Amino acid sequence: MKINENFVKACQAFLQPEQLLLDEPMSKHTTFEIGGPADCLIFPASLEEVQKVLSLVKEYELPLTMLGNGSNMLVRDKGIRGVVIKFAKPMSAIRCEGTRIIAGAGALLKDVSECAAANGLTGLEYACGIPGSIGGAIFMNAGAYDGETKNVADIVRAVDAQGNLHTFSHEEMELGYRHSVFQSNGEAICEVELQLERGDEQEIRAKIADYTQRRESKQPLEMPSAGSTFKRPEGYFAGTLIDQTGLKGFSVGGAQVSTKHAGFVVNAGGATAADVVNLIHEVQRRVKEKHGVELQPEVRMIGEE
């Protein structure tokens, strides 16, 4: 769809030119490096700008999609209709107050983890290598190495479709395995407060170094991917099941099951979203056939096929 010109003009009245892009390829804005164009991609720089944009989106009755760093998602080949709000560098400020860290939704997890370490705070070591933003981590309740966002998330400030600001307590976030209330309520996560504990900086750094070494040795960090492709099935590891099915290195078009870690689908060069989807379906089919286990994608799929 062609985006409403009056909507664009209204947004341009308070956004800088680089904050509003039309027909922008989403392959430039996702860690998979895949995806067709967004009709209108907006990078808000403040809570007030988020409120204004959401009010205008509602006024002009436009479809809305929100994302953080663009990890853990696959944008389909025809792109995204309507407005995409991306929480990125303009909303990535991080500050430490005692044992609390307050971060803009666009702050990268690795930067929030580093801030915690620098201030002798423990609880975020697991996040040092997750390729997402803190807003995305809340949205998906991201986790690794037995750590989860729900263990440290205390308060979230989010904006609803009318542009109203709401504060969510830990309980109100409804954080579960790769789940939060924000997946259903449509509110835009703008700021996150984390509650951490005092720790020994040397021990914290040692744990981060250990996690980093493990991640670098086992995961295909040198290739574009969305992160872990499948949720962990109860009692199993997705990567192990896929490996045991003989699918390491299996490819469809430019999409490939990583030869380094079978739990990752990577863009081996020129992959389309259709390649990835077809590969995922084939992996699911073969794993179910061999092991009787249904793998569920962890990657969010958005946009038009």
Q: List residues with catalytic annotation.
A: 178, 228, 298
Sequence-ordered alpha helix ranges (H) in the chain: 5-12, 47-59, 109-118, 134-140, 182-185, 201-218, 238-244, 273-291
For residue 36, give the nearest of 272, 279, 276 by alpha carbon: 272
**Cβ pair 182, 189 in contact under 8 A:** yes
Instruction: Give every CB contact of residue 19 below 8 A, 6+ residues apart in sequence.
Output: 42, 43, 44, 45, 49, 90
Report which secondary-structure segment, H or E, holds 97.
strand 94-97
What DSSP assignment string belongs to 192-219?
EEEE-EE--HHHHHHHHHHHHHHHHHHS
What backbone phi and psi angles, to 5 degrees, belong to 79?
Answer: 85, -160
Task: State both tokens at 25.
Answer: 């390829």
CA distances from 261 to 13, 171, 218, 257 (A): 47, 35, 6, 8
CA 166 to the chain's CA centroid? 21
CB atoms within 10 A of CB 57: 21
